[in-house]
Amino acid sequence: MAKLKRINKFISDSGLCSRREADKLVEAGKVLINGDLAEVGSKVDVGDEVLVNGKLIEVKSERIYLAFNKPTGVTCTTDLRDPDNIIDYIGYNERIFPIGRLDKMSEGLIFLTNDGDIVNKILRAGNEHEKEYVVKIDRKITDEFIEKMSNGVKILGVTTKPCKVERKNNGNFRIVLTQGLNRQIRRMCEALGCKVLKLKRVRIMNVGLEGIKCGEWRYLTKDEMGEINLMIGNSSGTEEASVVEE
């Protein structure tokens, strides 16, 4: 006997969006199961017809995982009304969506997938998966700056978690975060009296930018995905993944 699947998981498995976004579609009355309005928590059985905004949703078995070196000027949104959206820029021939975000003026590594299950497990701050950045600011980097960034800076009413910070040269530093607060690095720098001139994400977990030119992408390898799946094996999948991280 086939196992019933929650409607948000069914929709995310189709690659349309994350579970959180799927719940929003359900709440907005845009999802039908066999002609009836779905509710949050509704279950889907084999053979059920699911429509989202009038379009039939089908779950594909093949999972897609891309590593993309995002240039500045590209927006990490699936909204095709945005002329700079990441989906049109990449032009992949199947529906995918980004795992997390980098703001428009930031560049570097971002994952894209059609696997809604993996999104929150990678992004949820409580899971403490590392993201590494190289940052250029508008002033000389002092020992005091490194110490304060490392120990935590008060932004958005909270103090950021301790993190690894290393000076590269007078105006550049490397930082490894396990959080994804809104515009985190930029806000941390502003709180310490400086401005970010350039921000580049160079690593997510076990995957770096090596071999991926700016504006290009590649598939994540089986070995990389195997390691990622081990790292997220005990991760919470709580729906908490729509912050703009950096």
Radius of gyration of the chain, Cα coordinates, nearest whole angstrom:
19
What does the alpha-carbon distance between residue 194 and residue 205 come to, in Å, rounded to a whole number?
A: 28
Helices and strands, number each (H, E), in the chain: 7, 17
- Which one from 103, 117, 143, 223 is the annotated catalytic residue? 103
Say whether 149 sits in a helix, a strand or coil. helix
Say whether 127 sits in a helix, a strand or coil. helix
Within 10 A of 157 (CB to CB), how many other CB atoms are there? 5
What does the alpha-carbon distance between residue 98 and residue 189 come to, in Å, rounded to a whole number?
A: 26
Known active-site residue 103: yes
Active site residues: 103
